[in-house]
Amino acid sequence: MKQKDIALIIIIAAISAGLSFGLSQLVFSSAQAGSQKAAVVDAITTDFASPDPKFFNTQSIDPSEIIQVSPSNNPNPFNGPGH
């Protein structure tokens, strides 16, 4: 290659880099400022308000209570005969 060819390639590369940078700024840049707002939350404290007595009272259903439908002495109810 001659020096003129190398200079021409460098000039074309510089011009195409400038054009691609300019076009990318037009296409991908936004006109809005780059700031966003976040929700402000309350600080965590050790205070605990009492739950609503309408739902948490002595007559409420206890989901952790074991319910037995009928008495059974079978230690393996799902591995018995017929299954």
pLDDT one-digit tens code per residue, 27-38 = 887 666 667 788
Select from 19, 13, 17 the least CA-distant residue to 5.
13
Using a pLDDT cut of 90, give the percent of the chain over it: 23
Q: In the structure, what pLDDT confidence band is assigned to residue 53 with cuts at 50, 70 and 90? A: confident
DSSP string for 14-70: HHHHHHHHHHHHHHH--SS-S-------PPP-S--PPPPTTTSSTTS--TTS---SS
Residues 47-71, mean pLDDT to the nearest whole number: 80
